[in-house]
Structure 1
């Protein structure tokens, strides 16, 4: 197998840049490893698909053709402050969700760990949910059923507003990836207020799934689902009020840095 590390558009080695901007990336100048080994099998990087402040994600393949995904949490200092503890915490936290859901066929299985801040999961053959691709009959019913299984285990996915985290597999079924901001009762313990928050977040999970369904397969929606998809909660309104100005400033700053060549594009999943 050919090592494509030098051809990777998000590989720091392929892009000269002002050093002060590398601190905005989770792994700084290092980038993802060109290869790693788990259980005697060597996997080589084929593409870095995302590298932001908190984590870097890339596709890898073994010589036998097995594809996997490596995600590494932050290890780079920021403003002189070490943040490897944050990368380790984020890694272990997300890994916990994957392991809790390991028996579900629509969730990628865990392959192993890489370093203190990285873990590897299986690659899903498919594409992110998009208006550019036809969505098969029953897809959203299967997706809602999958989300119900998470909710029964007292997990809120939280990130259903991002269609790129919902994969339409080559098998025609939905698959969920990226549990970085998912929520359960582990971190905050089982208190009345934390259970209340869990229930609210689970409700938002369904709301966003129905918004996707309304956009992509409105013909399959029931009257009740249509009503639910129009019922935007105060929690979403609050999030939009806070996030909108932040995202506006962030996008302008990143656009300027990318145009100047001082910051690489984040890529997508």
Structure 2
């Protein structure tokens, strides 16, 4: 991560590195007047002599497009633009990743449902809602969503309006809602009716297929990356 950077007329210095894995590194930067931003840089390093910076460039372009598409939605951090060829910048959200400890306000999950619904209305599937750490409990008590790296948008062209694209979007958005209600059931079951709770135990068939076929492959890939020194841990989240 760079030790310093400049954007929007402010100078920032690296305060903390949050994450550094195969695909990206994420750092917290703070200006002299206390403003905080996030820099996420896609992969630049080679692997076994193979240049992989094209992955970083692609992911940065993709996430920048998605952040631009969801600007103005309450609960999405302000996007500040690209950083060089493989980086993106956005405001830092004061808060902490959602966890089972602590108490949530009664309106937390209704607000999260509304946030996700607005993302869906813009023709986007968040895709990564299974990871509870992507849901932030802000210091304001409200939900915030970060990390649009693997989110998906059908697009406005002919292909984006085609039946396969619309079907894929609907399927991914359905998975978003399943994961939303799964977290809701685990943390505030008192707000759901029995039918909604029962639905969270019935994962859609494509999610069950993913768990059965792709989780073992994901674990194998991560173990290989750990062995190659490109990753610190091979842990895979338990399905839920």
State if a TM-score over 0.5 links the two structures.
yes
SS at match of 2:153: coil
Residue 77 and residue 250 in structure 1: after superposition, are their counterparts in 2 closer, same or farther (change >3 A)?
closer
Which of residues 123, 129, 132 in structure 2 aligns to 1:160?
Answer: 129
Distance between the aligned counterparts of 1:218 and 1:140, measured in 2? 11
Assess if the C-alpha contact under 8 Å between 2:4 and 2:11 holds in 1.
yes
- 1:194 maps to what in 2? 165
Structure 1 unmatched runs, 5+: 1-31
Distance between the aligned counterparts of 2:114 and 2:137, measured in 1? 15
Assess if the C-alpha contact under 8 Å between 2:222 and 2:233 holds in 1.
no
- 1:5 maps to what in 2? none
Distance between the aligned counterparts of 1:149 and 1:173, measured in 2? 15
Distance between the aligned counterparts of 1:172 and 1:178, measured in 2? 19
Please give the root-mean-square deviation of Cα atoms over the aligned residues, in Å.
2.2
Per-residue deviation, 1:251: 5.6
Assess if the C-alpha contact under 8 Å between 1:46 and 1:61 holds in 2.
yes
Q: With the length of structure 1 as denominator, give the TM-score of the two structures.
A: 0.80
Structure 2 unmatched runs, 5+: 235-240
SS at match of 2:76: coil
- 2:79 maps to what in 1? 110
Distance between the aligned counterparts of 1:235 and 1:219, measured in 2? 28
Distance between the aligned counterparts of 1:253 and 1:78, measured in 2? 12
- 1:128 maps to what in 2? 97
Q: Looking at both structures, which has the greater relative contact order when contacts are Cα pairs under 8 Å and sequence separation is at least 6?
A: 1
- 1:226 maps to what in 2? 197
Q: Which runs of 4+ in 1 moved over 3 A?
A: 247-258, 262-266
Q: Deviations over 1:191-250 (max 9, x none)?
A: 101110110110000001111111111111123421321221111011101232134435
Residue 256 and residue 135 in structure 1: after superposition, are their counterparts in 2 closer, same or farther (change >3 A)?
farther
Residue 134 and residue 64 in structure 1: after superposition, are their counterparts in 2 closer, same or farther (change >3 A)?
same
Give the length in aligned residue pairs.
232
Distance between the aligned counterparts of 1:127 and 1:183, measured in 2? 25
